[in-house]
Structure 1
Amino acid sequence: MTTREQARTLILRMQECFNTRRFDEAADLFTPGFRNHPLGATGFEAGREAWRQVVARFPAMRVVADDILVDGDKVAVRSSVEGMTAPGGGARPVLIEIFRVADGRLAEAWGVTEGPDPRR
């Protein structure tokens, strides 16, 4: 069973790997069968490739967890996106993600982006 603090640390480590572009290190944070519902993919490889594409487009992009809520094996995260200019000077995107944790690793993810989607 993953504790609240372990789940919170897992999310912060994932964001640190993204923000420092150490994508390969993030692979250890995910289960081999990790299910990424927004990408419709299984395994961390699709997520790693999505990360590479988004930072190629927005090299200064960073994510910062504003809220991390843990309930059982689920972790909900609201994150601000920094380092990207919103079209027309509008609001920066906000990521809302829910992860399922299994055996201390991220096993499943759902997510939506509020505001401009950095993937597009």
Structure 2
Amino acid sequence: MTTREDAGALVQRMQECFNSRQFDQGDDLHTPGFFSHPLGTTGFEAGKEAWRALTARFPGMRVVAQDILVDGDKAAVRSTVEGIATPDGDAQPMLFEIFRIDDGRFAEMWGASTGFPPSASPEDVLNYP
């Protein structure tokens, strides 16, 4: 069973890899068979490519976990996204992710986002020229 403290530490380490742009350090946080449902890929290589695409488009982007809820081997994370300009009055972008954790590493991920400018969600930016 994954504790909130263990899941929180794992999420913090992953977000630090993203925020510091040390993407390769995220490899050890994911199982070899890690599956990303949003990307439809196995392994973390596609995740790193997604991170590179997002930070190329939004160089000041940072993610900060606000809530981490744990139930068994699953952790649900609500994160604010900083460094992306939105029209005045629009909500700050947010990420909602659910991770399955296996032996202290991310094994599976589901995700959604809200509040991103049009065509700038993490799912859309991967198709951005």
Asked whether the equivalents of residues 94 and 115 of structure 2 are also in contact (C-alpha less than 8 Å), the reply is yes
Q: Which amino acid aligns with 2:23?
A: F
Q: For structure 1, which segment, 36-45 or 88-97, has the greater mean C-alpha deviation from structure 2 after superposition? A: 88-97
Provide, for residues 7-29 of structure 1, a one-character-per-residue CA deviation record: whole Å limited to 9, x for no partner: 11000100011000010001100
How far has the Cα of 1:3 moved from its partner? Answer: 2.6
Distance 2:2 2:84 in 1: 34
Residue 5 in 1 paired to residue 5 in 2?
Answer: yes
RMSD between aligned residues: 1.1
Asked whether the equivalents of residues 76 and 96 of structure 2 are also in contact (C-alpha less than 8 Å), the reply is yes
Q: Which amino acid aligns with 1:95?
A: L
The DSSP-based 3-state class of the residue aligned with 2:28 is: helix
Residue 49 in 1 paired to residue 49 in 2?
Answer: yes
How far has the Cα of 1:93 moved from its partner? Answer: 1.1
Which residue is 1:63 aligned to?
A: 63
The DSSP-based 3-state class of the residue aligned with 2:91 is: coil
1:85-104 equivalences under 5 Å are 85-86=85-86, 88-89=87-88, 90-104=90-104
Which residue is 1:73 aligned to?
A: 73
Distance 1:65 1:103 in 2: 21
5+ residue gaps in structure 2?
none
Which residue is 1:83 aligned to?
A: 83
Structure 1 consecutive aligned stretches of length 4 or more whose deviation exceeds 4 Å: none
The DSSP-based 3-state class of the residue aligned with 2:59 is: coil
Asked whether the equivalents of residues 4 and 68 of structure 2 are also in contact (C-alpha less than 8 Å), the reply is no
Aligned residue pair count: 119
Between the two proteins, what is the percent identity of the paired residues? 65
How far has the Cα of 1:2 moved from its partner? Answer: 3.3
5+ residue gaps in structure 1?
none
